[in-house]
Amino acid sequence: MLTREEGEEEQEEEEEAKGRRRAFSINDNVDLLAEILGRLDGRSLAVAGCVCRLWSAVGRRDSVWEAVCHRHVAGGGSSAAGGGCSTRSVVAALGGYRRLYRLCIGPALDRLAGSAGGRGSTTTTAAAAAAHHLSLSLSLSLFSIDCYERLGGRQQRPASLLFLCKPVDVS
């Protein structure tokens, strides 16, 4: 009897300790999860979306991708609230930040990193620097052109961004 009680007590203690350790689960607090995911780079965020349904749902939020875009691109983060709102509405109208990243910013960053790496020698820090020089306005311009091409619907596949990468099926 005593041993069982002790055993139970121990078990309870253990459970309590475990509970304390498990008291905070990231999945309980979705906004916090979104905040954290928003600090990843694009590729990692896409990978994180494969973890579970919750992460996939959170990882698709445009606000998360908005944070990612602004983090990786110059000229985006400093906008005032008003500026931010209008940018958001325009980007939403054109297809959203996730699409913006997938079509423009991601390939552009890859291309910049690739070419800087390809030149090899001098700079890997310059690669990072070059990446940050990619401006939001340029990305948005390219994005808007792509969006415009897709409006045509009928015949051509949109090709204005082909110079960045292989054709991407964005659906």
What is the contact surface with other proteins in residues (CB under 8 A)?
83, 86-87, 89-90, 93-94, 108, 111-112, 115, 119, 130, 133-135, 137-138, 140-145, 147-148, 151-152, 156, 159-160, 162-164, 166
- Do the beta carbons of residue 71 and residue 40 sit within 8 Å? no
Nearer to other proteins, 54 or 85 (CB): 85
Distance set, CA 113 to CA 65, 79, 120, 133 (Å)? 20, 26, 10, 12
The structure tokens 């110059």 sit at: 74
Nearer to other proteins, 19 or 117 (CB): 117
Nearer to other proteins, 63 or 160 (CB): 160
DSSP code of residue 28: G
Nearer to other proteins, 23 or 151 (CB): 151
- Do the beta carbons of residue 79 and residue 137 sit within 8 Å? no
Shortest Å, Cβ 77 to other proteins: 15
- Do the beta carbons of residue 59 and residue 46 sit within 8 Å? yes
Shortest Å, Cβ 87 to other proteins: 6
Shortest Å, Cβ 80 to other proteins: 9
Q: Which residues contact 133 (CB under 8 A, 6 or more apart)?
A: 74
**Distance of alpha carbon 17 from alpha carbon 19, whole angstroms:** 5
Shortest Å, Cβ 108 to other proteins: 5
Shortest Å, Cβ 122 to other proteins: 14
Q: Which residues contact 1 (CB under 8 A, 6 or more apart)?
A: none
Nearer to other proteins, 25 or 156 (CB): 156
